[in-house]
Structure 1
Amino acid sequence: MPQAPLASVVICTRNRSASLRRTLVSICEAARRASDDWEIVIVDNGSTDDTKQVVSEFAERLPVRHVFEPNAGLSNARNAGVRASQGDFIVWTDDDVLVDENWLNAYFQSFKAHPGRAIFGGKATPLYEEPAKEWFVEAEPELCSLLAIRNAPSWKEITRDRVPYGLNYAIRGTEQRSHLYDPNLGVAPGRRRGGEEVAVIREILAAGHSGVWVWEAAVLHRISPERQSEAYIRQFYSSHGYDYPIAGHRVGKLHSLKGIAIALAAWGKSSIKYRLMRRSKPVQSVPHLVAASIAGASLRRYLGLQLN
């Protein structure tokens, strides 16, 4: 029986073939430094573009396999990737990143240096594609979660409050196959809801396992001009506010009324500040846009309304 590869790199994608091609080109460079046995699994989550053809372009340069998962939703795609993977470790990244040339090797060396660890997280910083919007770039400190930034070299241990994001992390295969992704979480058509990877990582930590940061395993997160917008900020943080309402998950009529009052007050205050500042002080207005988006979505949650 052939020995399992050290790692399976899994990328989930849907109708983003041009972006995927750029990611795979960067992985080709990283592969030059990786001497261990590994594979890459591309989970095609119901694409109708030329994703399969793009994957085939790299068949002679990467140990790549194409897996088709027709059930839309990032968690469904992740679970398909877990089922298809053969590696002792599963390394996750996205179709909108550029990996560092030492990305693979850094992870592989860490797997061998820390055999008792179950979770590994790497560095992620934004790359603003042109034409970059100056106000958006300057507001970066307020948008760390939207931009999926992880860049804190002083962090050594992965903890419940310091977890990797979905674009750059790895989980030991044994634990990953025992902790699959919740289909009710994760981005899906008509739903901008994340957190599926955070939930799994926290489950594994709660089960008594530990994790370590591997800052040499770095990726650049490409931020297209279309994402550098008020609408994208509002969409992202509204999703967060709906899933994690600002007054907590309240049960019962009295608690719901308190939640409504808290969210309504926060939404009104932040909305007014944002509208007063958005044109004259666009960068300074961003925290108020974030707060208003979270509060407005929280209000909808307490009122029992769906998130638009």
Structure 2
Amino acid sequence: MTPAVTIAICTRDRAPILAETLAHLRATVGEAPDAVEVLMVDNGSSDATPEVAARFADWPAFRSVTEPRPGLSHARNRALAASAAEWLLYLDDDAFVWPGWLDALRGAIAREGVVLIGGPIEPRFEAPPPAWFDPASVRRTFGPEGPLSDAAAREGFSGGNLGVRRSALEAVEGFDGRLGMIAGTLGLGEETELAGRLVDRFGNATWHAPAMGVDHLEPSWKQTPRYVARRAFVNGRQAWRYVGGGRGRKAGFSALKAVKQAGTGLLRLPLAVVRPGALHGVLKGLSTGAGAAVGVVRAARSSGTANGDA
């Protein structure tokens, strides 16, 4: 029987946490959940990932495939090609689903006309974060149950807990392979860029399911000034990609974002003197602004199309 949902877990060189995630998912959804399959996509791992897949070969709901082209977006598109299900639910390889996650998922995909679904993501810290780090920065919430606002629909949901209707994903030709993580190199925004194309094609056809939540691992190395600054810079640098229109509009958007984010960072600087947690906002704002300033040049040199590259 063709499954209604494929839970796709894309991974590369993360065997230990992958094993934990699969074990948790198996214990939560069961051995053979009705009309559901679990598909692991190995994106060119050189560690024990194949051995982890072999360990779960006795799980009736589980199978695995490989995608040799490095890049999370390529791996996600491989899941699309390998699945016959009408819905693909992309789950990070370090995300633990909540007890009611599968029921909430089934309720969301039953909504007529919906093509994009998602749920909240709560941080699961490896160790208590430092005083300057804002835990809310890694918490993803999307409001009450129901459609996102029209503006939020263009942002979409976080890719670590994201469902897309197959027919819609095929209609927009999947994820942009130039965006997202590529072989360990930090990349962001592939979900936002996809959400924008889905809205252009289908309108606001989103659904937020608050009970479809996950706890996402937040390792200590991500709570360092270096990583926070780098991530914010990359996010700002490629923000122009998510804006429709020509080069001028894209460059103008990046310029406005640069000024706004840098200004926000500077305004928070005095507060950081008395409240260490404000340092996170300072670092994030200044770094995002710097990245967006670089994005102005890249946008001006782009092809002028929605997905044009620098």
TM-score, normalised via structure 2 length: 0.81
Q: 58, 61, 66: which is aligned to 1:60?
A: 58
TM-fit CA distance, 1:284: 1.5
Pair 1:303–1:31, CA change in 2 (3 A) = closer
Flag structure 1 segments of 5+ consecutive residues without an equivalent.
none
Give the share of equivalent positions with the same residue, in percent. Answer: 24
SS in 2 for 1:70: coil
Offset from partner CA, 1:14-38 (integer Å, 9 cap, x none) = 1011111111111112223974221
**Gaps in structure 2 of 5+ consecutive residues:** 300-310
> CA 1:206/1:272 → structure 2, altered by over 3 Å: closer, same or farther?
closer
- State yes or no: 1:286 paired with 2:280: yes
* Equivalent residue number for residue 71 of structure 1: 69
Instruction: Give the drift of 1:204.
Output: 1.9
1:172 to 150, 165, 170: 165
Q: Following the alignment from structure 1 to structure 2, what is the Cα–Cα distance between the partners of residues 103 and 269?
A: 36
SS at 2:212's partner residue?
strand
Output one character per residue of 1:4-63: Cα deviation in whole Å (capped at 9) or x when no partner.
Answer: 111101011110111111111111122239742211111111100011110121122352
* Equivalent pair of 2:32/2:61 in contact (CA under 8 Å): no
- Match of residue 187, structure 1, among 181, 184, 206: 181
Correspondences of 1:39-54 after superposition (within 5 Å)? 39-54=37-52
Read off the aligned partner of 1:71 and give its amino acid letter.
R
Q: Would the alpha carbon gap of residues 266 and 134 (structure 1) be closer, same or farther in structure 2, given more than 3 Å must change?
A: closer
Kindly report the root-mean-square deviation, in angstroms, between the aligned alpha carbons of the 2 structures: 3.1
| Equivalences, count | 288
1:156 aligns with 2:154: no
What are the superposed Cα offsets for residues 69-123 of structure 1, whole Å, 9 maximum, x if unpaired?
11101111111111011212111110111111221222123323x1432221112
SS at match of 2:293: helix
Q: Structure 1 237/155 Cα, relative in aligned 2: closer, same or farther at 3 Å? A: farther
Given that residues 147 and 207 in structure 2 are in contact (C-alpha distance below 8 angstroms), is that contact kept between their aligned partners in structure 1? yes
SS in 1 for 2:44: coil
TM-score (norm 1): 0.82
Q: Which residue of 2 aligns with 1:225?
A: 220
Find the residue that maps to 1:161 and give its secondary structure: helix
Rounded Cα–Cα distance in structure 2 between residues aligned with 1:126 and 1:211: 23
- 4+ aligned runs moved over 6 Å, structure 1: 276-280
* Contact 1:259–1:302, Cα closer than 8 Å, also in 2: yes
Which residues of 2 match residues 22-37 of structure 1 at below 5 A? 22-32=20-30, 35-37=33-35
